[in-house]
Amino acid sequence: MSTTSRRLFLQGTSLATFSAALGLPIPFGRNLPLGLTPVALGADPVLETIPGKRGVRVMSDRPINCETPVTLLDDDLTPNHLHFVRNNGHMPARAESGELTGWSLTIDGEVAKPLTLSLDEVRKYPTVERALVVECAGNGRAGYNPPASGNQWTLGGVGCALYKGVRLRDVLKDAGVKSTAVYIGYYGEDPHLSGDPTKESISRGVPIAKALDENTLLVWEMNGEPLPALHGFPLRLLCPGWPGSTSGKWLTRIWVRDQIHDGTKMTGDAYRLPLHPVPPGTEVPDDQMGIIEELPVKSIITSPGTGIEHAVADALALRGHAWSGFGDVREMHVSIDFGQTWIKTTLQKPRNKYAWQRWTEEVKFPTTGYYEVWARATDEAGHMQPMVVPGWNPKGYCNNAMQRIAIKAV
């Protein structure tokens, strides 16, 4: 049975059939929204290994893309070997060899004094260290129906690591940004998949205001180690809170523009959302699409994993992380009755802006049976995670629907 056929079959299945399939009653089954399938009946991801990674799910190997099962994202700082990877081209030879000879960073365009800097010269600017969430805009794409094209990320296209570097604004200040500056565009060393040296794998950017934000960094270190090859050695850009595609890897140039950057994957429908809500499956004209900026509020349940059995007499400890591109998360709630009532969790403050926040809670189930734990974050701007997949878009970006895990209380 195809994935689509299985989905339609499950959506038309009765509560009694769900209970039989699970081998348990569903105490709050009357609250299960119509068309929503118990999460316990979903498929498990296949885990593989690639150089420098362990326990990840490989989405593609040309280019290399992999995500992390959410239960392996429980650390406050995501270890390098577990951090997701989103590439667009081939790995640069320099990154694989670790060779710095011949590398430099150019800052040019709408600046008074273009710069060409070695890594040692970049390091001379005031150093900062930040725990920052990086998330692929397509994280959650697998939840859209009809399916959107591209890697079918579930929930693991995100990580929060500790980075060391310098503020981009300090470097730009040294170059003397002109009043005509509107945007920046980055360029990296990753070769195009075709092998054509005249083509770029990706060249995106951000408005000058985001480039000058104190949290936008040029980094050379990740979790106390030089940037791993897969994560941009020797230098990468980090634009936290925005799509991971704005955080260019294997950096060699930052072009300060007097217009919105028009590099590869900055035009058409790439990393854009419809300006107005559209019915699922709609073909949206390019002029009706807007560039994604802040990523929506989101959370994950890192413990326990879905599908566990738990003694009904005992409290179940829950934990996870929450984050938002609009600032700190203000509140975190969980539900065990399909969203009819909500329990406020204990939510820690972030280590710094754009770091994810730990949340914890204990719940007790009233009787034996099948339950789902739903997790919902609300950020300081008042944005709240939706219960179901948000507005459909052609590329399947920005799905911040609440995570659900299955629990069998016995």
Whichever domain contains 330, its CATH number is 2.60.40.650
Q: What pLDDT sits at residue 36?
A: 60
Residue 340 sits at the vertex; the CA angle it makes with 339 and 346, to the nearest 5 degrees, is: 60
Q: Are 206 and 305 in a shared domain?
A: no
pLDDT tens, position by position, 242-273 = 999 999 999 999 999 999 999 999 999 999 99
Same domain assignment for residues 181 and 96? yes
- Among 267, 289, 319, which residue terminates a domain? 267
Same domain (yes/no): 249, 341: no
Looking at the domain assignment, is residue 349 inside a domain? yes
266's CB contacts (< 8 A; 6+ apart) are 185, 203, 204, 205, 260, 291
Q: Is residue 44 part of a domain?
A: no
Is residue 33 in some structural domain? no
| 79 lies in the same domain as 136 | yes
For residue 359, the enclosing domain spans 298-409
pLDDT more than 90, % of the chain? 85
Full-model pTM: 0.88
- Specify the CATH number for the domain of residue 188: 3.90.420.10
Q: Are residues 187 and 305 in the same domain?
A: no
Tell me the CA end-to-end span of the chain in Å, nearest whole number: 31
Is residue 9 in a domain? Answer: no
151 and 253 fall within a common domain: yes
35-39, 51-55, 127-131 — which is least confidently predicted? 35-39
Beta strand residue intervals within 183-250, DSSP E: 183-188, 205-207, 217-222, 225-226, 236-238
